[in-house]
Structure 1
Amino acid sequence: MEADLPEEELDEEEQLLRRHRKEKKELQAKIQGMKNAVPKNDKKRRKQLTEDVAKLEADMEEKHREELEQLKLTSKESKIDSVAVNISNLVLENHAPRISKAQKRREKKAALEKEREERIAEAEIENLSGARHIESEKLALILAARQLEIKQIESDGHCMYRAIEDQLKEHECPLSVAALRNQTAEYMQSHMDDFLPFLTNSSTGDVYTPEEFGKYCADIVNTAAWGGQLELRALSHILQTPIEIIQAESPPIVVGEEYTKKPLVLVYMRHAYGLGEHYNSVTGLVNTATENCS
């Protein structure tokens, strides 16, 4: 069986890809264990978990990328001739390949782009029957009925604020992510009694102290802390505008129903990325038939 073959009898690329697959599976198992260890309603620990998981995945991706690049560079050298292969292998064991900085940048860019395309293709295959695909199909139907479609927002910890920022542009009321975070923190600080009862210490289960609440608000401004229901409530008051959140499995949620302006519309996705929850914006669905007749 292939699994019993010595590593030296296997193709180098297959050895590397096999090890990468094994390491990814081990990391996913580790991440799942980490997720299971944190209660779903423990918002603070889940935020920290998200940061830890993101770092673990990023570190592994960078490691695998570098290893794949090194293998490709070695393979290029091996095509010169059999003598050069032997010499190159000896040199590469102890020294980095001697190439110009410009060439190194070009090769690295090409390798990264190829790997990105391969990852996208693999992810699409895996998601054809997965939770992400099912959720996306349901959301597409819900939005199409309202002549809307998803507008993708970057997944970087600021997605909720970026989605609000995008919606405000549509309403000709531009505000940056930084401004939205600052105003959210200021509003929550000045209305502490409205928000404090909904925040608890993950270790003790007690409601946040004023000091802990102050730290929570500072994190809104100074970190990429994810925004959620409390921050949306604050933003609806700041903007005096309803905010509607569309979901695949539940009816839409409207925050700030007391206001009469046209709502800002966000899409909440539970399975958008490996880390889970994500907010997107929406845009008007292009009517192809109308465009063709115009």
Structure 2
Amino acid sequence: MEDSQSEHQRMVRRHHREKKELQARIQSMKNAVPKSDRKRRKQLLLDVARLEAELEQKHQQELEKFQESFPDDSNLDSVTEDLAKMDLENQPPRLSRAQRRCERRAAIERARLERIAEAEREHLASFRHDEEEKLAAILEAKNLEMKDIPADGHCMYRAIQDQLVFSVTVESLRRRTADYLRKHVDDFLPFFSNPETGDAYSRNDFMSYCHDIMHSAAWGGQLELRALSHVLQTPIEVIQSDSPALLIGEEYTQKPLTLVYLRYSCNLGEHYNSVKPLEAGAVGGTAPRLL
């Protein structure tokens, strides 16, 4: 009995020491990464969450191994056995040692996943902040600022709608995009593929895709923007944070419509916003009126 208690105390003291050592190591890791180095700071968050989870799991496994080695030296078991002898109503059944181990392991795993998820959320928030800062600088050089568009699946079409100098519905833009793609299927089909598998679309798949453009909130991308530039006979400029601006429909001479592409701003995925002048004034250039 005394030997097992001494062993338990040594293990508890060692666990406490290892936790302090890990915290010192984490602090040293943090000090080694400059706060200005956002990329390394992001990775640091994930590394810290992994190290803490690994140590907690190691300690839990050692505790369980100790309890298995000294099954008759558990105060918790003694208390549980005494309670079991009492005639209490509406009490849940006593859990076995194996069930308690499973519950502890499940709790540790939940805590580990939550720490990793929190680190990833901070990681994403940092990416989002960086992206917004870069875009703000790019737009300021053009005397523009971002104009928020709802993230409802129609954002690309709503951003185009916002840039036009005449009234048009999102439904009309979607319908005209789908109609143009159907009429020029041979021009666009080679560039369409399944986003999950990478397999090329068949002609029937392409027609089904066009149907979804008209009748759902399917997201739009570069090929839909190219179709819209032909429909509107107007260039479309897409400003991005980490790449040069993309100009679609450069064969047209109208003033481009300007969209902002964001990779990290929306929890659901990629997103398009519109722009507006930093000072009051008209937005967008002259464009042909839709019939």
TM-score, with normalisation over the residues of structure 1? 0.53
Q: For each residue in 1:67-95, what CA deviation from the matched residue of structure 2 results, as whole angstroms up to 9, or x when unmatched? A: xxxxxxxxxxxxxxxxxxxxxxxxxxxxx
Confirm or deny that 1:150 pairs with 2:146.
yes
Per-residue CA deviations over 1:119-154 (Å, capped at 9, x if unaligned) read xxxx9xx58970001100110011011110000000
Give the counterpart letter for 2:146 in structure 1: I
Distance 1:191 1:150, change over 3 A: same
Partner Cα separation in structure 1 for residue 139 and residue 123 of structure 2: 21
Instruction: Give the match's secondary structure for 2:200.
Output: coil
> Quick one: which of 221, 225, 241 aligns to 1:228?
221
1:283 equivalent to 2:276? Answer yes
Counterparts of 1:45-124 in structure 2, within 5 Å, are none
Mapping of 1:190-205 within 5 angstroms?
190-201=183-194, 205=198
The structure 2 residue matched to 1:257, chosen from 250, 263, 279, is 250
**Count of matched residue pairs:** 173
How high is the sequence identity, in percent, across the aligned residues?
58
Q: SS of the counterpart of 1:130?
A: helix
- Decide whether aligned partners of structure 1 residues 137 and 214 sit closer, same or farther in structure 2, where only a CA change above 3 A counts: same
Residues of 1 paired with 2:141 and 2:235: CA distance?
A: 20
Distance 1:250 1:223, change over 3 A: same
- Give the direction of change, closer, same or farther, for the CA distance of 1:187–1:237 in structure 2 (3 Å limit): same
User: Aligned partner of 2:183: which letter?
Assistant: S
- Which residue number in structure 2 is paired with residue 69 of structure 1? none
Separation (CA, whole Å) in 1 of partners of 2:251 and 2:257: 14
1:131-170 mapped onto 2 (5 Å cutoff): 131-168=127-164
Contact 1:127 1:133 in 2 (8 A): no
Q: 1:157 to 1:204 in 2, by over 3 A?
A: closer
What secondary structure sits across from 1:214 in the alignment?
Answer: helix
Q: Aligned equivalents of 2:124 and 2:208: distance in 1?
A: 42
Regions of 4+ moved over 2 Å? 126-129, 200-207
Question: Where does residue 292 of structure 1 map in the other structure?
Answer: none
TM-score, normalization by structure 2: 0.54
In 1: Cα distance, 2:159 partner to 2:268 partner:
18
Q: For 2:269 and 2:194, how far apart are their aligned partners in 1? A: 23
- Following the alignment from structure 1 to structure 2, what is the Cα–Cα distance between the partners of residues 159 and 210? 27
RMSD of Structure 2 on Structure 1 (CA): 3.0
Question: What SS does the corresponding residue of 1:250 show, helix, strand or coil?
Answer: coil
Q: Which residue of 2 aligns with 1:271?
A: 264
Distance 1:147 1:187, change over 3 A: same
The alignment status of 1:185 with 2:178, answered yes or no, reads yes
Contact 2:135 2:241 in 1 (8 A): yes
Secondary structure at the aligned position of 2:217 is classed as: coil
1:174 aligns with 2:170: no
Of structures 1 and 2, the larger Rg is shown by 2
3-state SS in 1 of match to 2:260: strand
The one-letter amino acid paired with 1:226 is W
Contact kept in structure 2, 1:267 and 1:279, CA below 8 Å: yes
Q: Which runs of 5+ in 1 are unaligned?
A: 4-18, 33-122, 288-294
